[in-house]
Homo-oligomer: A and B are copies of this chain.
């Protein structure tokens, strides 16, 4: 066991790990919970913003939470909804109280406070909750980022207080975990301040947010490195929304434990398939297959001969290309299963290093 393996009420998660994204309570691409159990991730991630809009908190409470709804009995991490509020919804007003946004589905106005974000995640039945934060894009002026970090800290404090209130009387072993999120853009001093302030509040783990939001890769790694140096040695570190295999590889070497990213699932649906991922000592190597290419039309071999996923065990590139071209849903499912398998397999390799 590694010192930062994540102990949740639904079991311990070995680090480093990757969380497939079940945005709306299902992995996109018609992947069922049975498919997921075959893929065998230790934990999945679901999006509070999407679940807040549909099916909504009342429904989630009535059906007994997301685990019950989607029949998934392993841990679920939920984000706070903040990232989607800032990236998907149209109108918004941020104040100390919280954020007002309009649903990207029907436009109705919704107010989300740090306390609401906690309540929503508790209704979902999440095992790892994230505090509400403001995620600032790149580039951003330092003064704006400074104020934003202060707001994020304030919200983190209120989140923690509200969480403790809600957990009063709940056995420690039955409680979910609560993570803080370090912000600060590409400014090392602000990152340091953010990390310091959050640690003072005290969380079960620390996420690094606001990276991979547009800044060049060569700026991301140094910022990440410095940020992590400011985090406690014994608490899990989560790099939110990152990334490509090489990003994950580099981040693991810097001491990051947890990852989520839409790349394996989204790229799968768009026709990009990972193959022959090899985790070497100093880098990760892989190929990308663009399945729409003519040359695959009669290629009866699997995406990756060494791969043991359902797709590679049963189907050819020729079939996948055909399904992709005729826009048959089965394509998305088979492609998603393969790409997720690749990522999860890569994490298994990284855990052995």
> Measuring CB to CB, which residues of chain A are less than 8 angstroms from any residue of chain B?
24-34, 50, 54-55, 59, 62-64, 68-71, 297-298, 300, 310, 314-316, 318-319, 321-323, 325-326, 328-330, 332-334
Interface contact A59-B297, CB-CB below 8 Å = yes
Residues of B with C-beta under 8 A to A62: 298
* Contact A329 to B333, CB < 8 A, known contacts A33-B314, A298-B63, A314-B33: yes
Is there contact, CB below 8 Å, between A30 and B298? no
Within 8 Å CB of A71, what residues of B? 314-315, 319
Complex-state Cα separation, A27 to B333, whole angstroms: 13
Contact flag A30-B332 (CB < 8 Å), given A50-B326, A54-B325 = yes
Least CB distance from A174 to B in Å reads 22
Q: For A30, give its contact among B314, B321, B326, B330 (CB under 8 Å).
A: B330
Q: Give Cα A70–Cα B105 distance, bound, in whole angstroms.
A: 37
A37 to chain B minimum Cβ distance, whole angstroms, is 11
Please pick, from B34, B59, B314, the residue contacting A314 in the complex, using a CB distance under 8 A. Answer: B34
Most chain B CB within a 10 A radius of its CB, from A71, A323, A329: A329
Bound complex: CA of A325 vs CA of B32, how far in Å?
Answer: 17
Q: Let me know if A319 and B70 touch, CB within 8 A.
A: yes
Residue of B nearest to A64 (CB): B300
Docked CA distance A333–B34 (Å): 13
Chain B nearest CB from A351 CB (Å) reads: 29
C-alpha spacing A71/B311, complex, angstroms: 11
Which residues of B have CB within 8 Å of A330?
A: 26-27, 30-32
A330 and B31 CA atoms in complex are apart in Å by: 6
Given contacts A59-B318, A319-B70, A328 and B298 within 8 Å (CB-CB): no
Give the 6 A-B residue pairs with the shortest CB-CB distance, closest first.
A30-B30, A30-B329, A62-B298, A30-B333, A26-B330, A24-B326
Complex Cα gap A34–B26 (Å): 20
Q: In the assembly, what is the distance between CA of A109 and CA of B25, in Å?
A: 45
Which chain B residue lies CB-closest to A311? B32
User: Are A332 and B334 neighbours in the complex by a CB distance under 8 Å?
Assistant: no
- A62 vs B299: C-alpha distance when bound (angstroms): 9
A309 → B minimal CB distance (Å)? 12
Given contacts A26-B330, A34-B314, A55-B318, 10 further A-B contacts (CB under 8 A): A25-B322, A28-B328, A31-B330, A59-B297, A59-B318, A63-B300, A69-B318, A71-B315, A71-B319, A329-B329
> Contacts of A316 on B, CB cut-off 8 Å?
63, 69
Report the Cα distance A298→B332, complex, angstroms: 29
**Bound CA–CA A328/B329 (angstroms):** 11
Contacts A26-B330, A328-B26 given; does A297 touch B55 at CB 8 Å: yes
Contacts of A29 in B (CB 8 A): 30, 329
A64: B residues at CB distance < 8 A? 300
What's the nearest-Cβ distance from chain B to residue A63, in Å? 5
Asked whether, in the complex, the Cβ of B30 is within 8 Å of the Cβ of A325, the reply is no
Q: In the bound complex, how far is the Cα of B32 from the Cα of A333, in angstroms? A: 9
Chain B residues with Cβ below 8 Å from A32 are 310, 314, 330, 333-334
B69 touches A329 (CB 8 A): no
- Listed by A's residue number, 24 A-B pairs whose Cβ atoms lie within 8 Å are A24-B322, A24-B323, A24-B326, A25-B319, A25-B322, A25-B326, A26-B323, A29-B30, A29-B329, A30-B30, A30-B330, A30-B332, A31-B330, A32-B333, A50-B326, A54-B322, A54-B326, A55-B318, A55-B325, A59-B297, A62-B298, A63-B298, A63-B300, A63-B319
